[in-house]
Structure 1
Amino acid sequence: MSTTKEDWTGRKFEVEVGPVAHGGHFVARHEGRVLFVRHALPGERVVVSVYEDNGGSFCRADAVEILQPSPDRVEAPCPFSGPGMCGGCDFQHVSWDAQRELKAEVVREQLSRLAKIERDVVVEALPGGPLEWRTRIRMAVGRDGRPGFRGLRSHDVIPIDHCVISKPGMVESVTDRKWRAQELTIVQDGDGNRHVGEVRGRHTTRRAGTGTAVETAAQRKWRVSADGFWQVHPAAADTFASVVGEWAAAEPGQRAWDLYGGAGLFASVLGRQVGENGSVLVVESFPGAVEDGRRNLRRMSQVEWVADKVELAVTRKLPVENPHVVVLDPPRKGAGKVVVAEVARRRPERVVYVACDPAALARDLAEFTVQGYRLAELRAFDAFPMTHHMECIALLVPETS
């Protein structure tokens, strides 16, 4: 075992690759240190090149030569994928079936390690295949004015002229000229309209489209800001709304909360369930999303809105009456102990938790367990093929249920 603090940056080693880890890389070891390796697969023998070493117990590396490939390895469909290239896709070199199994293993490991929950997990594919699915992209602009994507853990802009996971024509619509912006936003909505925004600081100038995206989900048309939040996979919003509705199972006249409610996708489902004699309280901190939500659900008088951070609203602004159902769709960091404790204190019959990060989900599930709730159901979806990201939906009920 090495006892020195020698900087390994730029050095190459031959290693055997171990299991997948959360974040799109794989674990290997060399001279007592952990290597987080990208562009590899479990069981492979590879040569790695270290690109980041901060002197601790681990460093980061790319697999630059494959000596013994995995049977799950395929040729990357994107010419901009690989060491030193675009940092957007983690699994271009992995067969689609194997990608979903790797993601399932990550969810299983996070649940076991962080929440002490042992559960089999299957990551379900969404319709459409692994390519040409992404409908919302954000591109950086290099000093030369050419748009591209940033390298992994880097501010460097990798110029590209095509993106295999994006809807055809999206990238091509902005790569035929140079830009003076810092970033570009490109959105192709559900009606096939394309919206291009030029971002300078906090200001966005509309260069194509109306800036209002038209989407279809949960049995209704939505008109939302093209630069606001909406699921990037065209099948995701409708799929998630269906699962949330099934598990929420709110009854007419009941009370429901939709925390981190966005533009009201799940609130629309809850609103139909509780009817005019029930109530749905939506809490969302982003003013643009609240504006979109109020406009889209203006005919649902049972839906009320609180424009505030959820962690603040749950402790000072929510009704005295306890909800029967709570839906949580927090950002990547998760809901956190304060929100989980306050939700659990209200003792809803069901909590439906939508998560875009399995580690955050596991941490919050651990806290729900402390607060007397158990995991009743779990589904996971490959809403981001070719990347390490996924979406999970969990149903929690009181331990006594």
Structure 2
Amino acid sequence: MSEPAGPGSVLELRLGRVAHGGHVVARHEGRVVFVRHGIPGELVRAVLTEAEPEGKFWRADVVEVLEPSEHRREHVWDLADSLRAHAAGTLPVGGAEFGHIGLGEQRALKAAVVREQLERLAGLDWDPVVEAVPVGAGPAAGDADGLAWRTRCSFDVTPDGRLAMHAHRSDALIPVTRMPLATEEVNALRLWELDLRGIERVEVAAPASGSAPLAVFTLAEGVPPARLTEVLADLDPAVSASALAPGERTPLTVRGRGAVGEDVLGHHYTVTGEGFWQIHRRAPETLVGAVLEALDGVLAPGAQVADLYAGAGLFTAPLAAAVGPAGHVLSVEGAPGTSRDARRTFKRQPEVAVVQGRVERVLRQHGGAGSFDAVVLDPPRAGAGKEVVRQLVETAPQAIAYVACDPASFARDVGLFRKAGWRLERLRAFDLYPQTHHVETVGLLLPPGR
């Protein structure tokens, strides 16, 4: 009798369909196994990473490919390559779990996930196409390799002061050097050459607009600020820097501006170390274009609009331009730091009201039937949820442009709108995160009678 499988056991598996979250589905003796670093149809050997005896499902990483897919290629980042990492006795870093798959097939798999979620959670039969988003600008811009698109990166630090990233669902830290998904401006900082002892975390932003980068350093407990001064002595002096003490949420500017400038389609934004901004260098203009396209015919001078989960106001600015001084834009964001960024950007625009707080609470105060002609809904990964959907249905705008970074929560919310008689009129999907399983969608929701 063979020993029962458990963490560390290696199984031979035939991989099935793609699943939400960056996995493909396999079965072992009737149990579902979610496998990373594989491709549907492959025969592989996979090591179990999570395998509770009574668990509903197990998790595994591919460590050897016995029958490869025609779409398999050499991984774009050796540190994220499961085959190399496990052969060396380590774990792959997270953040490039599709890097072994050709870009065309990556997009086909993402489209399959969006399709499956809409069918399962919203009862919709939809056949989406995931659109490529070039990294560069101009007619010659291409995306042949799907690299160098991240303008923002977050890193951890090993106990001996080396720049690092986590393995997926693990506390293991893997030292990193050049990151292929990051822009050259991020890699040019050469953060991996710094002695980061006393630092717990480093976050860096190198704006697509070309303004000076910003690095935010989180200090370890009990480490004096003077330690950061030593670190900054070896960092390019053109880089602005902020420090975040343990338990604090607001970074303290220690060098430069403590913020970066972003320019999108003629609008300028200021984003601090606390603020949120899209990480693909072409994401802001791509999403703004898709939202304005979706709301064409509803946005007009004098219109009343809500920008919910507005962040630093990426959509607020073009919405305000569309409705003009006679219109009004309510820009709502829950994170205090990000909301401060928006207030700074729109302080001289009386047609914009920036409100910090939970969307549900703000809608109770400012919503109601007929309050808005149009709504832009851009929630975090968890989605808008039942209460926000209920309030928006009661408010009854003419159209909602829903920007989503998670197909499952988006499909769940679309299902809630459909139960209230709304319909999904249009859907676009964008590959704003090449080499990962993530996909961004922009949907147009219309109420009954429109």
Tell me which interval the TM-score lies in, with the shorter structure as reference length: over 0.9
What residue in structure 1 maps to residue 417 of structure 2?
368
- AA aligned opposite 1:195: L
Helix, strand or coil for the counterpart of 1:291?
A: helix
- AA aligned opposite 1:377: R
1:131 matched to 2:129? The reply is no
Count residues with an aligned counterpart: 399
CA deviation digits over 1:13-47, x for unaligned, max 9? Answer: 11111011001110011110111111110111111
Aligned-pair CA distance for 1:206: 5.2
Aligned-pair CA distance for 1:142: 1.2
Aligned-pair CA distance for 1:178: 2.1
Q: Could you tell me how far apart the structure 1 residues matched to 2:252 and 2:270 are?
A: 19
Aligned-pair CA distance for 1:192: 4.6
Aligned-pair CA distance for 1:264: 1.4
Identical residues among aligned pairs (%): 39
What residue in structure 2 maps to residue 50 of structure 1?
48
Contact 1:185 1:227 in 2 (8 A): no
Q: TM-score, normalised by structure 2?
A: 0.85
Distance 1:389 1:98, change over 3 A: same
Q: Could you tell me how far apart the structure 2 residues matched to 1:254 and 1:311 are?
A: 22
Gaps of 5+ in 1: none
Distance 1:202 1:168, change over 3 A: farther
Contact 1:133 1:166 in 2 (8 A): yes
Contact 2:258 2:272 in 1 (8 A): yes
What residue in structure 2 maps to residue 144 of structure 1?
160
From 216, 219, 237, the equivalent of 2:266 is 219
What residue in structure 1 maps to residue 200 of structure 2?
182
CA deviation digits over 1:321-358, x for unaligned, max 9? Answer: 52110110001000000000100111111011000100
Helix, strand or coil for the counterpart of 2:315?
A: helix
Helix, strand or coil for the counterpart of 1:245?
A: helix
Give the root-mean-square deviation of aligned CA atoms.
1.9
CA deviation digits over 1:41-100, x for unaligned, max 9? Answer: 011111111111123121000111101100000000211012311011110100111111
Q: Could you tell me how far apart the structure 1 residues matched to 2:190 and 2:254 are?
A: 11
Helix, strand or coil for the counterpart of 1:63?
A: strand
Contact 2:211 2:260 in 1 (8 A): no
CA deviation digits over 1:371-392, x for unaligned, max 9? Answer: 1210000000011110111110
What residue in structure 1 maps to residue 237 of structure 2?
none
Helix, strand or coil for the counterpart of 1:120?
A: coil
Contact 1:218 1:268 in 2 (8 A): no
Q: TM-score, normalised by structure 1?
A: 0.95
Superposition pairs for residues 327-346 of structure 1, below 5 Å? 327-346=376-395
From 146, 159, 174, the equivalent of 1:158 is 174
- AA aligned opposite 1:335: A
What residue in structure 2 maps to residue 115 of structure 1?
122
Q: Could you tell me how far apart the structure 1 residues matched to 2:9 and 2:254 are?
A: 45
Distance 1:397 1:5, change over 3 A: farther
- AA aligned opposite 2:202: L
Gaps of 5+ in 2: 83-90, 136-142, 220-245
What residue in structure 2 maps to residue 168 of structure 1?
184
Helix, strand or coil for the counterpart of 1:182?
A: strand
Q: Could you tell me how far apart the structure 1 residues matched to 2:345 and 2:39 are?
A: 45
1:197 matched to 2:196? The reply is no
Superposition pairs for residues 264-283 of structure 1, below 5 Å? 264-283=313-332
Q: Could you tell me how far apart the structure 1 residues matched to 2:80 and 2:376 are?
A: 37
Distance 1:151 1:276, change over 3 A: same
Q: Could you tell me how far apart the structure 2 residues matched to 1:299 and 1:82 are?
A: 49
CA deviation digits over 1:103-123, x for unaligned, max 9? Answer: 111000000011111111011
8-17 or 316-325, which deviates more: 316-325
What residue in structure 2 maps to residue 245 of structure 1?
292
- AA aligned opposite 1:247: A
Distance 1:70 1:208, change over 3 A: farther
Distance 1:72 1:278, change over 3 A: same
- AA aligned opposite 1:112: E
38-47 or 202-211, which deviates more: 202-211
Q: Could you tell me how far apart the structure 1 residues matched to 2:255 and 2:45 are?
A: 45
What residue in structure 2 maps to residue 11 of structure 1?
9
Distance 1:207 1:97, change over 3 A: farther
Q: Could you tell me how far apart the structure 1 residues matched to 2:322 and 2:128 are?
A: 29
